Structure 1
Amino acid sequence: MEQHTLPHQHGQSKEQLLQHMPATENFELVSAIFKQLSDPSRIRIFWILCHCEECVINISAMMEMSSPAVAHHLRLLRSSGLIESRRDGKETYYRASLSKKAQSLHKMIEEMMEISCIQL
């Protein structure tokens, strides 16, 4: 990383902070994930899938949304790596990814809403 001189010196050196600052691309990745969760319906779907594996029809019923609308949200969540899918015959089942990223977001959502994981 190149050396930066800050225009204002406030008595604290920021060199160490600047040397360890992640690349812009890393912040763009985090921003893209948060954009996926900027929709309340997607957060609810993600939260459901953190607790169970479900098909589109059942998620639609739980969300009181059309299957095409739910499928749209599922595509976005899957493209960001937050959920996974598997096929069983004609049915596709979805669940939250076991990735650290997805598990951290699940925990953060529940902490922000001040709720605990339910035990099914």
Structure 2
Amino acid sequence: MDFETEDECKILIIHEDRVIKARRDMPDEKLLQKAGDFFKALSDPARIKIVNALSSTEMCVCDLTAVLNMNQPAVSQHLRTLKQAGIVTFRKDGKVVYYSLHDEETKSIHEKVMRHINAEKE
């Protein structure tokens, strides 16, 4: 393959059928933005800790602050980000708000990522 520079390919398309398929299978911009928001919400280790804690049981903010050893406003801000990304949901029981993962698929994604990361260490 001829290269003008290391990063610039002179040939525009080598496998047109693959390009056509990849373009056809590409989600629309709205879905791509939601996927980006989902992963961006998981880009903070504290939020990953929250997801990890919620992967086994629902928890209130007070209990999450104890698990994370963080103050309540910081945990609440992280929960807000996770809620906006559709990662966590909540329910109220009187004055106590309980958080849980949005669904089993979210839990599965978290578990797969953690298995992938752990496998890289070996």
Q: 1:71 to 1:23 in 2, by over 3 A?
A: same
Counterpart of 2:118 (choices 102, 107, 114) is 114
Query: Percent identity, aligned pairs only?
Result: 31
Deviations 1:14-65 (A, max 9, x none): 2222222221222111111111011100010111111111111111011000
Structure 2, unmatched stretches of 5+, are 1-10
Q: How does 1:35-114 map to 2 (within 5 A)?
A: 35-98=40-103, 100=105, 102-114=106-118
Give CA-to-partner distance per residue, 1:82-120, whole Å, 9 cap, x none: 1111111111111111153x13422233213328xxxxx
Task: Decide which of 8, 14, 25 is 1:10's aligned counterpart.
Answer: 14
Larger % of helix: which? Answer: 2
Moved beyond 6 Å, runs of 4+? none
Which is higher, the Rg of structure 1 or of structure 2? 2
Give aligned pairs, total. 108
Alpha-carbon separation, structure 1, partners of 2:88 and 2:96: 16
**Distance across 1 between alignment mates of 2:118 and 2:15:** 39
Q: CA RMSD in A?
A: 1.9
Q: Which runs of 5+ in 1 are unaligned?
A: 1-6, 116-120
Normalising to structure 1: TM-score of the pair? 0.79
- CA distance in 2 between partners of 1:9 and 1:81 (Å): 37
2:41 partner amino acid: Q
CA distance in 2, matches of 1:10, 1:55: 54
Normalized against structure 2, the TM-score is what?
Answer: 0.78
